[in-house]
Structure 1
Amino acid sequence: MAQPTYRVSVIEQSQVAPPPSSVPATTLSLSFFDIPWLLCRPMQRLFFYELPQPTNYFTQAILPTLKHSLSLTLQRFFPLAANLVCPPQTHKPHIFYAEGNSVPFTVAEAAGDFNRLVANYPRDVRELHHFVPQLPPAHVSSDKTRVIPLMAMQVTVFPNEGICIGIIFCHVAADGRAFHHFMKSWASVCRTGGDLTCLDRSPPFNDRAVMKDPNGLEQNLLEDWWSWGSAWTDDTGLINDFAEKVRATFVLSRAHIEGLKQWVKGQCMNKEDSEPLHVSTFVATCAFIWVCLIKSQYNGVSDFSDNSELFYFAFVADCRNRLKFPVPCTYFGNCLAICIVALEKGELLGETGIFEAVKVIGNKVRQSETEALRGAETWLLDWKEKSETGTLVTVAGSPRLGVYETDFGWGRPKKSEVVHIDVTGAISLAECRDEEGGIEVGLALRRKNIADFTAAWEQSLKLF
């Protein structure tokens, strides 16, 4: 599969900051929810929009409003313009905003096939990397304190076709819900020509002191970070040669999901000792994809040796309404429980593999609703241990984030992609753009595996 050529030339590089003197110097202490994400590679998200205008129209008529609305939005979402400060060991990292902090903003022009980029069929993973900005390098002071920028942006124009808004940001600054709150707020301010009503109506809550820590979780997690986290690099998902990987989007329609749920419930009725299941759209989708992924790894293998080998599945649960202390729904930061479940290979590859996966994932989701912080003291250690097995599948994104509601005034995105799954090996989930109740699943797999996954997907759909 030849890689199409995308010629990208930089038009402008600038910095976008909150309006002068609009934000005081502010230190944000990291909560115990933030600390695990110090290990996380930067998040990379692309939004593609149809915009059949020439480049000079974009730069003259649209770009000034885009940048001005970003400046106004950063006044409320200032942590994204700030820096992560990591002092030497035993000193706690924190986020610090100072007057003059800003977000790098690149404008580029691309020549290439825009429609190919927004397609679902398999494409070379390298195609999207042209449109992802680079974070500025960390600054290291004489006392070995690292100062790390938290976000950068790139807007790429495809003349007379569309544009791509690319964002890279550090997860320690914001979880998915917080980040998409920012994106939708920026889009609304841009769409309305600078109207700040949406920011007044739904402002981010930036005070991380709201996070109570009666069980000393922060200290436990910090000690793990100090002991090995600041130097540890998870190489299990790294693929040095992107030429061997392709990415594709698979769509589970609403009918598929409802059929899957009914099939699972039927399996439950056939098992007299089976406990009631939690079968949400998220649970059913994750179980289905997990089994398809494992089946694709063993396609054509007749000897399933070591059926007791454990495979792991990790996801996060939003805890804003699941804690014993109140957290505003617009809290800006991280408020995620890390959830990991395990099944033996023989269970996943068996005839009822999807049912078994639904059971363990659903039970974990149900547990998180009442015991969100159970096991939180070992989140970092558990993640490290499971990552090193090479059998961990993780999830990026969520159908509840409303990715396709991000309208800057040019309509809904034609496509949104999570680019960092190319490296991490995660699956990405989003609501379906074209059908309410459907789910888009993004995958990046080696070329030789994508056909096996497609076969497993199509075969599994025949169950219901």
Structure 2
Amino acid sequence: MVETRTDMLKVLDSFCVSPPPGSVPTISLPLTYFDFSWLACVPVQRLFFYEFPHPTLHFVETTLPLLKRSLSLTLQHFFPYAANVMCPQSPGKPYIHYTEGGGSVTFTVAESTADFDHVVADYPRDVKCLHPFVPQLPPAHVTEDGVRVLPTLAFQVTVFPNSGICIGSIYCHAVGDGKSFMHFMRSWTSVFRSGGDLACLENSLPLFNRDVIKDPFGLESVQLKNYWRWVSSCGENSAPTAGKVRATFVLSRAHAERLKHLVTAVDTEQLHISTFVVTCAFIWVCLIKSKESVTDDDDDKFYYFLFAFDGRNRLEFPVPATYFGNCLQPCVTDVKKSELTGEDGIVLAAKAFGKTIKEMGSRGLRWGEHWASTIIERAKTGRLTPLAGSPKLRVYDTDFGWGRPCKVELTHIDHDGAISMTESRDGQGGTEVGLALNKNQMDEFVTVFEQNLKQLRV
């Protein structure tokens, strides 16, 4: 092993993991109009933390070999993650390309001397606390004929001796949405737990058939134009993280039920009022109220909340649950600041979310040509809050045999200003929300959050 060191991290080894030789032929897979827009977004960074009370040598000798082998075996069924996204010059369409014997996933092994309990804590910590455990994707490059080549996935496994393990991942969202990625992760854990027996995957293989994605409204040409407009106008940008802290906030199932009761008591429209809806409403109101002391916005200005929901079996055409790719529809909810910060802010926000979801259910893809312009227009105001993740992804079911994760984090929210959401790690129906804010606003948010929680009288 070749070792390199940073402050609290020692890189023990780095190598590439490929599907078994001969298991995947050279193959290309087209992207769909659901995939194109994600090429403009930062890669997804998700960290899975596990308790692992063993020394590093024990991990290297007993766990690492099967971790590598099971990943290799799983990749033969999820080959896009060992492939590259090929982006030809205009008017070419981006596509996924796997080369037999050439596709692989970068896999780094490291050791950290950081305090594991502090790293996985819910209380505010410097955002940089988690950055050492995020792997780096190999750099993009351009071929002689002008095709930009984007690697799709990388892993870093960091051992905290006698305390824990972090499985850090970074992947290109254009290859697949969160449901596709978590399908891959749970498949990997199943193969690992089985000792490498692929029979465990027989009933849950991914579907790559792009023919299931229909285009009744001509969205491919619209999204391609949006993609080329982005390519010609900007590069990769991310917000600075200096001075930011991140924390996790938990709303229990009892809190969600109380919120739903409050909303449905005054809901005369029979809207979609779910745990997801009331959790978004609660957190959004706390976030906007915590900004009041640092902004002078007019109360009549609208604030915007961007979220996505899985379009599988919610569209004008059926899409199987095992479809591999992106099948997300963006939703934007607009509410005036005066309503969000008023006495009934949470109720009004929840009703607004419910109305948005109900409208999306009836419109389907009909407003698809306006997705990009609507989001860009809202983002330019500086009053758009994006949501990353979903409680439906079941990230805490990612069990390699060491038990369920003790914490799962989405670290790219440190850069793009989003909030993250997962199901609660205790499996009792609650929700976890991650935030990355500057320290002053985080202090304000904690105060507002705790006050609003007390008012629920749960």
TM bin (shorter chain)? over 0.9
Contact persistence 1:394–1:427 (CA under 8 A): yes
Check if 1:408 corresponds to 2:400: yes
1:213-292 to structure 2, matched below 5 A, reads: 213-229=215-231, 231-233=233-235, 238-240=238-240, 242-268=241-267, 274-292=268-286
Amino acid at match of 1:66: L
* 1:57-104 Cα shifts (integer Å, max 9, x gaps): 111110000000000000000001100101112111111111121000
Supply the distance in 1 between the matched residues of 2:294 and 2:233 (Cα, whole angstroms). 40
* Aligned with 2:132 (options 123, 130, 133): 130
Supply the distance in 2 between the matched residues of 1:81 and 1:275 (Cα, whole angstroms). 47
- 2:432 is aligned to 440
Check if 1:379 corresponds to 2:335: no
Q: CA deviation at 1:281?
A: 0.3
SS in 2 for 1:88: coil
Change over 3 Å in CA distance of 1:239–1:340 after alignment to 2: same
Supply the distance in 1 between the matched residues of 2:145 and 2:201 (Cα, whole angstroms). 39
Supply the distance in 2 between the matched residues of 1:299 and 1:292 (Cα, whole angstroms). 13
- 1:110 is aligned to 112
Check if 1:163 corresponds to 2:165: yes
Check if 1:91 corresponds to 2:92: yes
Contact persistence 1:254–1:435 (CA under 8 A): no
Q: CA deviation at 1:228?
A: 3.2
Contact persistence 1:87–1:145 (CA under 8 A): yes
Q: CA deviation at 1:143?
A: 2.8
- 1:186 is aligned to 188
Q: CA deviation at 1:267?
A: 3.4
1:139-150 to structure 2, matched below 5 A, reads: 139-150=141-152
SS in 2 for 1:201: coil
Q: CA deviation at 1:6?
A: 5.7
- 2:3 is aligned to none
**Structure 2 unaligned regions, length at least 5:** 1-5
SS in 1 for 2:429: coil
Check if 1:356 corresponds to 2:348: yes
- 1:200 is aligned to 202
* 1:141-164 Cα shifts (integer Å, max 9, x gaps): 233210110111100111111110
Supply the distance in 2 between the matched residues of 1:291 and 1:267 (Cα, whole angstroms). 18
Contact persistence 2:37–2:226 (CA under 8 A): no
Change over 3 Å in CA distance of 1:300–1:202 after alignment to 2: closer
SS in 2 for 1:108: strand
SS in 2 for 1:429: strand
Alignment TM-score, normalising by the size of structure 1: 0.94
* 1:238-261 Cα shifts (integer Å, max 9, x gaps): 432x33100000000111111111
SS in 2 for 1:90: coil
Check if 1:77 corresponds to 2:78: yes
Q: CA deviation at 1:451?
A: 1.0
Check if 1:328 corresponds to 2:325: no
Contact persistence 1:211–1:327 (CA under 8 A): yes
Amino acid at match of 1:380: A
- 2:310 is aligned to 318
Supply the distance in 2 between the matched residues of 1:35 and 1:391 (Cα, whole angstroms). 25
Alignment TM-score, normalising by the size of structure 2: 0.95
Amino acid at match of 2:259: L
Supply the distance in 1 between the matched residues of 2:166 and 2:234 (Cα, whole angstroms). 33
SS in 2 for 1:163: strand
SS in 2 for 1:36: helix
Supply the distance in 1 between the matched residues of 2:216 and 2:297 (Cα, whole angstroms). 46
Supply the distance in 2 between the matched residues of 1:438 and 1:105 (Cα, whole angstroms). 33
Change over 3 Å in CA distance of 1:167–1:7 after alignment to 2: same
Amino acid at match of 1:437: G
Contact persistence 2:40–2:230 (CA under 8 A): no
Supply the distance in 2 between the matched residues of 1:47 and 1:435 (Cα, whole angstroms). 16
- 1:154 is aligned to 156
Check if 1:337 corresponds to 2:329: yes
Change over 3 Å in CA distance of 1:305–1:142 after alignment to 2: closer
SS in 2 for 1:428: strand
Supply the distance in 1 between the matched residues of 2:143 and 2:216 (Cα, whole angstroms). 34
Supply the distance in 2 between the matched residues of 1:173 and 1:359 (Cα, whole angstroms). 33
Contact persistence 1:155–1:166 (CA under 8 A): yes
* Aligned with 2:288 (options 273, 287, 294): 294
After TM superposition, which residue ranges in structure 1, 4 or more long, deviate above 3 angstroms? 228-231
- 1:121 is aligned to 123
Q: Which piece of structure 1 moves more, 414-423 or 347-356?
A: 347-356
Supply the distance in 1 between the matched residues of 2:308 and 2:363 (Cα, whole angstroms). 13
Q: CA deviation at 1:296?
A: 0.2
Q: CA deviation at 1:364?
A: 1.5
Amino acid at match of 1:426: A
Amino acid at match of 1:211: I
Contact persistence 1:317–1:368 (CA under 8 A): no
* Aligned with 1:425 (options 417, 425, 428): 417
Q: CA deviation at 1:229?
A: 4.3
Contact persistence 1:221–1:378 (CA under 8 A): no
Contact persistence 1:6–1:127 (CA under 8 A): no
SS in 2 for 1:198: helix
Amino acid at match of 2:396: Y
Contact persistence 1:6–1:112 (CA under 8 A): no
**Structure 1 unaligned regions, length at least 5:** 269-273
Change over 3 Å in CA distance of 1:454–1:90 after alignment to 2: same
Q: CA deviation at 1:132?
A: 0.4
* 1:277-331 Cα shifts (integer Å, max 9, x gaps): 3210000000111111000000488xx7622111110000101111222211100
Q: CA deviation at 1:233?
A: 4.8
Contact persistence 2:194–2:200 (CA under 8 A): no
Supply the distance in 2 between the matched residues of 1:17 and 1:300 (Cα, whole angstroms). 50
Change over 3 Å in CA distance of 1:74–1:219 after alignment to 2: same
Change over 3 Å in CA distance of 1:244–1:191 after alignment to 2: same
Identity %, equivalent residues: 55
